[in-house]
Amino acid sequence: MKSIIVTIQENRYSFSPLITISEFFNVDVDILFLKDISQDLDDSQYLENIKQQILKSGLKVDNGELNIFFFSIHGWFRRFFLSTVYILKKYFPDSLFIAGGPDVVGAPDLYFKYFDILSIQEGELFLIDLFELLQIIEKRMIDDLIISDIAFSYSQFSRINFKTINSPDKFFSEKQTKNLYVIPASLLRSKKFLIDYYIKNSEELSLTKSLLEIINCKINQIDDYKDIFKFFPLFPIRNNFYHPLEIVRGCPQACKYCQVGYFFGKIPRCKDLDILKIFIFYQLKNNKKHIRFISPNLALYFEKSSISEKIDQWIQLIEDVQAYSYRFQIKPEIYLGSFPSELSLSYLNSEFLDFIAKYSASKILTIGVQTVSKELQNFIGRYDPLGILDEAIDFSVKKSLIPIIDIIFGLPYETDSHRDITLSFLEKKLNDNVTANIHYFLPIAGTPFEDFEPSPIGKNDLKRILNLQAKGFARGNFLKQMSDYRTRLKIPDNL
């Protein structure tokens, strides 16, 4: 059995759980690394470009084993990955094709006809289910099996196509029925996986017996599948795949254009502190000093704490990391409040900004605002205290921080008046030390705004945006997003 990851530069981190689980089950992993291509090509040229990339990659599969192609798909790359799976199915028809990711979760009916299995929930649980099933097949040396409706008989986290895969070693056929394996709920399997994982890798991760017992005790107390995230490994340890550490899932804002609050929930879930330390220490032990975090809002970590308490806990974590790093004569660089873990305006008081200025390895401070119009904020379901924005920016600059303001234009319900409020603010505040990252609204599947078109942007407002970019005060792929979004979301006609 082999896992084949189909990825591009922009979504490579999303496969971290798959690599971790493949490592645990001793499954080989290959990576088909492709490049995004121009949206100006017609569908036939587009397919030809992808086909040539695949052929030049030298990808080979073993016809004597099951080959599983994995995709993680964001709406921005819908056209690309639908075209890619179409080509791969032609060249490797006896393989299994599995898709997950935000666009799949948001629009499963769209993807169901193109893939054999869809992950429609958080990927870790689905992947544990899947690999457990495939291990059972191999251990029992079963020649014939149909992957049946896992959504009901095996895993609550997936949707299965009733397609039979006829591979040379007969992994899949119509001989067996869908009730062949009905085993305990996914939560039990995931808890067992986590316990076995930390036991198996205890030496590699430098876990003491007492710490291992504490972790196992916490895992055994999990009673909600969503809490598996809190204890899942932060990155694969055998493939040297280091990347920013995902420390929070869920967002209380639940903005209507963003999938995070609707997919992961409005109640933030934080990575267990012991687990976070274990993997930071492992990075340092392997001479990886850059420590970055992934969170919809950095300040959400250390849940249910006041701002002062959060800061104290962050400082304690940083001091623990610094103390550990002395063993290896390495100075850790910890990045706080910059992409991909921006700060919400709600937490930008002087105390938190002092903390960022003192402890962050970077002076960049990413502030999620999206619009400076209070009325438009209410329409999009975002409730930032915009009244403190001006003061927070000024205080940040005094602390030698470099604020970057995240802005989206073209939001549903956006009027010329709303846009003028935001643009006037940017024209007043932006300079060499205060910049903006400007985006164009993209309708995302699974959100309240999934069926909305971007609001039209007049020529004068577009000129004002381009003027900010020309001065170097505004960055981002605004123009590319504006010109490409329709073709990127389309389903090619000839699939």
Q: Return per-residue pLDDT of the chain as tens, 495 residues.
A: 889 999 998 888 899 999 999 999 999 999 999 999 999 999 999 999 999 999 999 998 877 777 899 999 999 999 999 999 999 999 998 888 999 999 998 998 899 889 888 888 788 988 888 888 777 666 654 444 444 333 333 334 444 443 433 333 333 333 332 333 333 447 888 999 999 999 999 999 999 999 999 999 999 999 998 999 999 999 999 888 899 999 999 999 889 999 999 999 999 999 999 999 999 999 999 999 999 999 999 999 997 778 899 999 999 999 999 999 999 899 999 999 998 999 989 888 899 999 999 999 999 999 999 999 999 999 999 989 999 999 999 999 999 999 999 999 999 999 999 999 999 999 999 999 999 999 999 999 999 999 999 999 999 999 999 999 999 999 999 999 999 999 999 888 878
CA–CA dist 378, 3 (Å, integer): 45
51 touches 87 (CB < 8 A): yes
C-alpha distances out from residue 16 to 5, 19, 72, Å = 10, 5, 11
Question: Could you tell me where in the chain the CATH 3.40.50 domains are found?
Answer: 2-183
What number of helices (H) and strands (E) belong to the chain? Answer: 18, 17
Q: Of 436, 256, 412, which Cα lies nearest the Cα of 342?
A: 436
| Secondary structure of 41-95 in HEC code, one letter for each residue | CCHHHHHHHHHHHHHHHCCCCCCCCCEEEEEECCHHHHHHHHHHHHHHHHHCCCC
CA–CA dist 107, 100 (Å, integer): 10
The alpha helices in 144-242, defined as continuous H runs, are: 150-153, 186-200, 209-220
CATH number for 229-489: choose from 3.40.50.720, 3.80.30.20, 3.40.120.10, 3.10.20.30: 3.80.30.20
3-state secondary structure of 317: helix
Please say whether the structural domain 2-183 has been given the CATH code 1.10.3120.
no
CA–CA dist 368, 365 (Å, integer): 10
CA–CA dist 165, 342 (Å, integer): 44
Residue 99 phi/psi, 5-degree rounding, is -130, 145
Q: Of 167, 176, 202, which Cα lies nearest the Cα of 94?
A: 167
CA–CA dist 205, 283 (Å, integer): 10
CA–CA dist 181, 494 (Å, integer): 38
Question: Could you tell me where in the chain the CATH 3.80.30.20 domains are found?
Answer: 229-489
Q: 448 preceded by cis ω (within 30°)?
A: no
Query: Within a 10 A sphere around the Cβ of 359, how many other Cβ atoms?
Result: 18
**How much is the pTM?**
0.89
